[in-house]
Structure formats: C-alpha cells, structure tokens
Amino acid sequence: HKTGKAVAVVGSGPAGMACAQQLARAGHSVTLFEKNDRMGGLLRYGIPDFKMEKDLINRRLMQMQAEGVVLKESTEVGVHVSMESLRENFDAVVMSGGAEEARQLTIPGAEKSGVRLAMEFLTQQNKRNAGDDEMRAAPRGSILATGKHVIVIGGGDTGSDCVGTSNRQGAASVTQIEIMPKPPVRENKALSWPDWPMKLRTSSSHEEGCERDWSILTKRVVGTNGVVEGLECVRVEWADGQMQEIAGSEFTLKADLIFLAMGFVGPRKAGMLDQSEVALDPRGNVAANVVDYQTSVENVFACGDMRRGQSLVVWAIREGRQCARAVDLHLMGTTELPL
C-alpha cells in the first residue's frame, strides 16, 4: 500500500541500498541518488572484482527497481541537484554518502606524481573491468602498476586490495608497510573478547605474493623531476602506546608507485554536506544518534559511514535498515519495519 510520502536517499552504498529498499517495502516512493556511473558505492568501486562479483549488486538493484525504487546514477547531490531542491520535493532526505575523505601522507615529497590514494587506484580498475569511463575517477591521470615497484602504506583491507590489484596488473614488486607493530599470530582472547581480536591476518592477496613489514615510519618520498624513485623510512618501537624511532634504522625502499591506504577521516564536506548545514560531531561525521537517525536539520537523516565514520559493510547495512525504520516512524507515526 503506497503511503503518498516521498523519500530521497543520497548515496547508494550498502547503507543507502539497505535503507532505500526497506523504505520502498514500507510503501514510500523512494529515489536513490548516486554520483558515480553505477549504483553500489564502495561495494561497486572500492572492493575489487576478485573479492566481490558485481552481479551480486546488479541482482539486488533489479529487485529494488521491481519494488519501485527509482535509481538516479551520475547525479551528485550538491552539484547536479541541490540539497534545497531535495528538501522541497521530498518528505524526508537520508544522507548515506559514506566516509570518502582519505587520510593524506604529510611528509616531504608526498606531492610527487607517483603518490596516489588507494581508492583512486581501486576505482579505476573496477571501472575498467565494467567498461566505464575510468578517467572520471582519474583527476590526476590513469594509474597502472604494470612493471613497477609498488609500495602500499597501510595494513588494512584497502591496502590488501591494492596488493591484489597490483599483482594482477603485473607489478615488478609489491611491498606493504604498516606503522603499527606486527600483530601476534594467535589472539589473546582474554584481552580481546568481546572486541575484534587483534591477530595477524593474511588475505588471499597476500598469499599471491608481496613483502610485508611492520613498525615502519615513512620520512620522505625521493625522486627527480616530480617522479617517485624511492621512499625513505625508519623503524620504530612502541612502548605504552608511544612510538619512538630506532636510531640507525633508516632505510630506503625502491618505489615507482606509492599507494596511500591509511584509512578515512570522515565524509567529504564540499557539496551536499556544506549545502545541508547539518551539525557535525567532533570527528567530522554527521551528528545523528542510532535511535531516530535525525540530523540537526528537520526531515534530514544520516546513516552508515557518513554518520559513524569508516566502518564495515555489515554495520552500514544495519544502520541503513534501522534508519529506514526511523524515517517510516517519523513520517507515519507508526512502523512495521523491523529493528
């Protein structure tokens, strides 16, 4: 049964897709906006195809369209459509644009052409695989690791994805470095439970071939004429949460490409967030609680990484579904959507 209410969901990652589908099932008219060529957010362009087949996203999108969700790709809210127009034409707006502002490398030489963000690299390759225009995601030019010595800074999943993609492109060598100490092979359950256990994790990309090193601090990117040739590093030791450089441990890694996979610092502010004028929390994320998901602006909601910061797909899906319930309750005064 249609409610006569219209909701705009901005950002088609796991939070946005989950939220949009639940709202459609509650009877609302839902429009899902995505700035990229295709729906899916980082599911589409952040996770390599060898880790997640994109047919899974396509199947869900076909299901959502059959349920009445209107999909608007290549439409960036804050650029092609203003937040003001969304608020005028929809009864509620859900912001689920993710946390795309990457942490930068602030050392001498980091401006050289061979120092690139991990998401630039991964997005380009996924666009190539899909037959899309990769240059839309290449403001600084195309990136290929073929025949090059690659350094990946950051030991998380994004760094692992850069390793696997570099190997598939035929890199001459791949080295992944991390500033934190090497985790233990087995977790100390007495210390970690019920939190995520701290232990050494080896992905399929690592098994395919790369060098890994820990407790490494980067000092300077070296090269000539703006071209990367190496990365100066020093080893560090950790004590009581404090890091200290080890005297005499300096060394240089040969590098043609350096990928920054050091995490994200929050959502992009330019465009949608600036126009929305919503309040931000101390970390720079959109301020909203997990009860009603409402922002400081009336009828505007936020969920997923845009609200909680960089996190996991499962958290984004959960927040999207809970946010849909909160929006339905807000619009109708009652809801049958599950918690």
pLDDT tens for the chain, 339 residues long, are 999 999 999 999 999 999 999 999 999 999 999 999 999 999 999 899 999 999 999 999 999 999 999 999 999 999 999 999 999 999 999 999 999 999 999 999 999 999 999 999 999 999 999 988 777 766 778 899 999 999 999 988 999 999 999 999 999 999 999 999 988 888 877 777 787 777 888 899 999 999 999 999 999 999 999 899 999 999 999 998 899 999 999 999 999 999 999 999 999 999 999 999 999 999 999 999 999 999 999 999 999 999 999 999 999 999 999 999 999 999 999 999 998
Q: What pLDDT does residue 13 have?
A: 97
Q: What pLDDT does residue 137 have?
A: 61
Which stretches of the chain are DSSP H helices? 14-25, 42-45, 55-66, 83-89, 118-130, 157-168, 189-192, 204-207, 272-276, 305-308, 313-332
CATH of region 104-262: 3.50.50.60
Q: Give the integer Cα–Cα distance in Å for 52 and 45.
A: 10
State the pTM of this model: 0.92
| Domain regions of the chain by residue span | 6-100+265-332, 104-262
Structure tokens, 236: 């560090």
- Give the distance between the most distant pair of CA atoms in the chain: 72
Residue in the structure block whose two tokens are 């890091």: 243
Q: Give the integer Cα–Cα distance in Å for 123 and 236.
A: 32
CA distance to 191, 288, 337, per residue, from 298 (Å): 43, 12, 22
Instruction: Please indicate whether the domains covering 6-100+265-332 and 104-262 agree at the CATH topology level.
Output: yes
Q: 6-100+265-332 is classed in which CATH architecture? A: 3-Layer(bba) Sandwich (3.50)
Structure tokens, 191: 């210390």
